[in-house]
Structures are given as structure tokens and as C-alpha cells.
Structure 1
């Protein structure tokens, strides 16, 4: 890459600090009540000063919103792209399941953080995030519906939400397995639960 094409150092520093703050805050919000997590606690764990945090986020609440909203938007974009580009619903489901599992293993599960701290979200943000969660779920539901035509819409939704709950708790249940073993085990379990015919 030519020198004039190299990105400047400043944006890289800003981006990495923001990502570090999001990662640290997500872990704290997952394991501690929102009200007990302080800006000082987040900054100390991230190794960043309070003014450094406020350059990226207006306050602790804005940081919580970003912790939940950013990964959720990424998940939805990925699922939508998969559904639109993959004509085989089974292949699309396989891809969405694996991507979801890898996402919750690489970062604190967004859904768990939201449900645990929902009281701390302003009403408008809470509703927006709820809508985003529903839109993401609809990508799965529409795909599962194609694979399970014998199920009613409420049954498909129940089944899909149950699988979501199972996958979102994977990081809290990991007992020393390597990541690829977890992905393989949980992908198999999720896909079988979503596609296996109901026993008569």
C-alpha cells in the first residue's frame, strides 16, 4: 500500500479505544448489575481515562446502548445478507446458526445484557432495540417456516426463540471446551431442534 493510501494513526487509535471500551463494558454489564457498574470501574479495566471515555460516549447509559445495539445490528445485517444470497433455506439456516454461535462466543451475549439491564434503557431506546431483536428473529423464523411447513406460525416462533435462548447461554455454560468443539456441538443441536420432524 502506498504511503498516501495508508490510514492516519489517529482514527485507528480512536477506533481501538472505542472497541476496547465496548468490550470491557459488555463484560461488566453482563456480570454485574448496571447500577453497580461505574464509569471509573470501566475506565480502570480498560486502562483509559474518564475523559477518554467521554470522547466516545456521552455517559454510561450511552455506552450500555452501544454495547447492545452495535452487535445486534451486525447480527441482523449478516442474517439478512445470508437469507438474500442463499436460495437453499437449510444452507441459510446452517450459516445463521454458526454465525450466531461464533458471535456469542467472541463477545458477551447481547440479548443477555439487554434482558438483565432493560430497566436502564430509556423507553425510546428500549423499544428500538426490541424492534431490532424482533427483526433479527424474523430472518430465522421465515427460514425455519420454509423447512417446517407442518408447524403453525406460533409453533415456529416458540421453537426459534427456544433455540435462541439455548445459544445465548452457551458462553456461560462453557466448561473448558475449545471454540470449534462448541461451535460443532451447538450447531448440530440447534439445527436438529429447528429442522427435525415432530414425532407422531
Structure 2
């Protein structure tokens, strides 16, 4: 048996674990620095873009305020004209009720339109031409009406196939009526 004796020192194996841990932490820190740097640059770009949008919106807002400066006076004009119109409101419901109460038994309105502040155009159906004349005379006697003009009377064509005993209005009278402003404002509508 041979015994071998090695008198040379054996080299110790280096412990690379601390180097690996340091390298891992260095790589981790480098990766974190890169990620944070890209996030920071993205946020800076977004902030710059938002600042540009803010400047653009402020410029648009200034252009709207300068252009609406003329509209402000227009709005004031509209408000004053609205107040004037409120002062000249015609009480149409009492006027219509007054005009309807003066109609003969079988007369009725076909149309009613305000053509001016105190001007009315009315189409009325009657059974006879005499009823249209009587209605005109009655309208002229009313205190809330200053002028009445019979614009025309048309004959409604009756179908020959209808029953002869079927009683239908046959005349359409068109009236132009001017209301009395002072009477409407103080007294209102009252039929005589």
C-alpha cells in the first residue's frame, strides 16, 4: 500500500455567493432605475401635452369670451324686447271666449290667428249669409273691438249625395278684427 501525501496546500474554493448576491442587487437596481426613468419621461411628456391642451383651451375660451361680448349686448336687447312683449300680452282666451259667445247657435270658428299685437284674423262657418252679416254687426258694437272688416264670404260646396235634411254650415266668412288696446288693458273682455 502506498500512501500519498500531498504536501502542497490545496487552494480554497472561492465563495462566489456574495458576488452573485451583489451582482443580483446591482442588476435589480439598474432595472429599477431604467423603469423609473422611462416612467418619469412618459409622465413628463404627458404633462407637457396636457399643458399644451390647457393653453389651447384657454385660447379658445378667450376667443369665445371676446366674441360673446357682442352677444351680451344682443342678450340684453332680447331681454328688453321680451319685457316689452310681456307688457303687450293680449289676453287671447277671454277674447276667443267673447267672440265665441257672440256666434249664432250653429256658427263655429274654422280658424283663429293673431296677425299682429292687437289684430286677429278669424274664419267662421255660418248656415246663412244673414248670420254672417248679423255677426259682423254684433262685433262692431263690442267695446273690446275697435274695427271689424269682413274680408270675404265663401260658399262651401255641398255634396248632392248627402241627405237633404242633413243641416250643415254652408258659408265661410273671413274677418279681420282690430282689438281695442285700452279696453283690454283696463276692463278686459265683456260682451254687451
Looking at secondary structure, tell me which structure has more helix per residue: 1
After TM superposition, is the score higher than 0.5?
no
Computing the radius of gyration over CA atoms, which structure comes out larger, 1 or 2? 2
Q: TM (normalized to structure 1)?
A: 0.23
Q: TM (normalized to structure 2)?
A: 0.24
